[in-house]
Amino acid sequence: MKKATVLVSLYKAGEFLPAKLDNLIKQTYFNKCNIVLLNCQNLENESLIYAEYTKKYKNIISKDYTEYIKLYPSWNDGIKMTKSEYIMNSNADDMLHPEYIETCCKHLDNNPQTGYVTTQVLTTYTPCQVWPDWKSDSKMCIRYPKGTVGPCPVWRRSLHDDYGYFGDFLSIGDAVMWEIWHSNKIKFDVINKKMVLYYHSQSSLERRTNKNGKRYNEIDKKSKEYKQHKIRRSQMDVKNGDQGQ
């Protein structure tokens, strides 16, 4: 069984995919990982780009969707089609330090009370940068729950046995899952090393809008599933004595 599964969702990702694949291959834990490419509709012929990689490396696999699929159901597919101790997502346009996966996995190995972990994150407006020649514009605030858990946390697969899989959301499915874990006192750690370069893109899912100009996250927060989540979380917070946090 592999140590980690890396979920890479592809939606109009042709510009970023070659650099992303090269970045993942250079991970010190590459041979200990499943790399799962979740190709939504192949809109920019992504399959032609990764064909040589899947042929050469048995641990790089793909799942191709001919119709549009939301991000989080595709993550669930990637989780279920692999076996590994840990799981992480990694955006197609973000870059990782070569030791990122190894560092996070070893942290979870050595800290059994921790459920999910990441490192400090740099942000940039320049895509496809190659480590060590990263040039960042700012630093992301990784501080949960009063901040974000970052774009690519590594978490224990066993958490899905206890808390289920990601919900059917457009853009906040990960945030909802982190809230569930936080409400259940699952420990989150931040390693004080700058090992992720996040690409600040206006077309990213968190900033994407529908044809009427509404942001996806606004649509999600009006959904029945989200309202049910907020009720469950409030009940859990009361149970744990976290009212008002």
* pLDDT tens digits, one per residue of 111-139: 999 999 999 999 999 999 999 999 998 88
Would you say residue 26 has pLDDT above 80? yes
- Beta bridge partners of residue 88, listed in sequence order: 6, 154
| pLDDT score at 245 | 42
| pLDDT score at 215 | 63
d(CA 192, CA 22): 25
**Is 47 in contact with 39 (CB distance < 8 Å)?**
yes
What would the mean pLDDT of 179-184 be, rounded to a whole number?
91
Would you say residue 173 has pLDDT above 60? yes
Q: Supply the pTM of this predicted model.
A: 0.88
Would you say residue 45 has pLDDT above 60? yes
What would the mean pLDDT of 166-190 be, rounded to a whole number?
91
The domains of the chain are located at: 2-240
Which two three-digit tokens encode residue 15? 């510009």
For residue 44, the surrounding DSSP H or E stretch is none
Higher pLDDT, 143 or 1: 1
d(CA 156, CA 165): 12
Domain at 2-240: CATH code: 3.90.550.10
Confidence label for 172 from pLDDT (cuts 50, 70 and 90): confident
| pLDDT score at 244 | 45
- Cβ-proximal residues to 196 (8 Å cutoff; 6+ apart), any chain: 94, 95, 96, 97, 100, 118, 119, 120, 121, 122, 150, 151, 152
Count how many Cα atoms sit within 13 Å of the Cα of residue 185 in the half-sphere of its side chain. Answer: 8
Task: Kindly report whether the peptide bond that precedes residue 132 is cis, defined as omega within 30 degrees of 0.
Answer: yes
Which two three-digit tokens encode residue 4? 């980690």
Higher pLDDT, 9 or 218: 9
DSSP sequence for 69-85: --HHHHHHHHHHT--EE
Confidence label for 53 from pLDDT (cuts 50, 70 and 90): very high
Q: How many CB atoms lie within 10 A of CB 126?
A: 12
**Is 117 in contact with 154 (CB distance < 8 Å)?**
yes
